[in-house]
């Protein structure tokens, strides 16, 4: 589910500089770890959001989006669907430019919150797979 076209999504991802990763983990087997590593490698400043971890991939964590001192370009959510609406409320409060719920994370309530705030929203999709599908990886 998304409320943006492929072209809009491509522009939002291409122009993004900061990505808050909610549910970031130090465990290499976790998708959030691999995605954060990929995004960092591709030039994004990643801010891991996890009250349990002290740092992820060498980057200090914050406990919640409320601690951000700037407006994130993308909020990428790796939390269970039951927590999605709460996280999306926080993301809207920080004026995120794009809210992304990873594969397996769906929430009609979160979708409504983003829609009311007028924030582009994607759910149940992998940002890495979409990055590739949209042709955003450059040949170097």
What proportion of the chain, given as a percentage, has pLDDT over 90? 93
pLDDT per position as a tens digit, 17-61: 999 999 999 999 999 999 999 999 999 999 999 999 999 999 999
| pLDDT value of position 1 | 60
Q: What value does the mean pLDDT take over residues 62-84?
A: 96
Match 């914050």 to its residue by tokens. Answer: 62
| pLDDT value of position 138 | 59
Q: What value does the mean pLDDT take over residues 112-136?
A: 94
Q: What class has domain 6-133?
A: alpha beta
| pLDDT value of position 140 | 36
The closest alpha carbon to 71, from 105, 45, 53, belongs to: 45
- Provide DSSP, 54-67: SEETTEE-BSSGGG
Q: What angle do CA 114, 115, 116 make, to 5 degrees?
A: 95
Q: What value does the mean pLDDT take over residues 11-20?
A: 96
| pLDDT value of position 68 | 96
Q: Where are the domains of the chain?
A: 6-133
| pLDDT value of position 4 | 84
| pLDDT value of position 2 | 67
SS3 assignment, position 99: strand
Q: What is the pTM of this model?
A: 0.94
| pLDDT value of position 90 | 97
Residues in the chain: 140
Q: 10 to each of 5, 26, 89, 130, 135, how far by Cα in Å? A: 8, 28, 24, 9, 9
């Amino acid at each position: 589910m998304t409320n943006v076209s492929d072209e809009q999504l491509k522009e939002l991802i291409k122009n993004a500089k900061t990505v808050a990763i909610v549910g970031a983990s130090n465990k290499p087997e976790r998708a959030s770890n691999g995605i954060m590593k990929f995004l960092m490698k591709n030039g994004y400043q990643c801010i891991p959001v996890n009250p349990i971890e002290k740092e992820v991939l060498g980057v200090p964590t914050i406990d919640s989006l409320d601690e951000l001192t700037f407006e994130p370009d993308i909020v990428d959510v790796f939390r269970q669907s039951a927590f999605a609406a709460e996280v999306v409320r926080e993301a809207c409060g920080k004026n995120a430019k794009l809210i992304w719920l990873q594969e397996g994370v769906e929430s009609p309530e979160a979708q409504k919150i983003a829609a009311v705030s007028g924030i582009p929203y994607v759910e149940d999709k992998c940002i890495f797979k979409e990055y590739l599908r949209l042709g955003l990886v450059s040949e170097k």
